Amino acid sequence: DQQVKQNSPSLSVQEGRISILNCDYTNSMFDYFLWYKKYPAEGPTFLISISSIKDKNEDGRFTVFLNKSAKHLSLHIVPSQPGDSAVYFCAASNFGNEKLTFGTGTRLTIIP
């Protein structure tokens, strides 16, 4: 049972444009969400997070939006840069339970 889903395995975006990565979840107990970025041969790197009490969190070029009623979150990258090319994982957890449930990832390619 895939509780966190990233339905787009890959996405290509022109440099300078907006990249939007999507993630859906089914477990209504999840209340903390994270995005990780992963380069080949490296471990995932934390990018940005959001708790369920907020619907938006911004950090520089990265913004995460949370729609609790739709059980959907998205990561916006503006403007997209070649160094953003990587696999992006969304992850979720619930209060008092530290384990993260990950999606299967979206490979983002930024085209120069």
- Binding interface with another protein (CB under 8 A): 4, 6, 32, 34, 36, 41-46, 49, 51, 89, 91, 93-105
- Residue 32 or residue 65: which is nearer to another protein going by CB? 32
Least distance in angstroms from the C-beta of 22 to another protein: 15
79 vs 101 by CB, closer to another protein: 101
Q: How far is the CB of 6 from another protein (least distance, A)?
A: 8
Q: Residues 40, 43, 48, 52: is their CA dihedral positive or negative?
A: positive
Contact 5, 30 (CB under 8 A): no
Residue among 28 and 97 whose Cβ is closer to another protein: 97
Tell me how far apart the alpha carbons of residues 45 and 66 are, in angstroms, rounded to a whole number. Answer: 20
The closest alpha carbon to 57, from 88, 37, 35, 41, belongs to 35
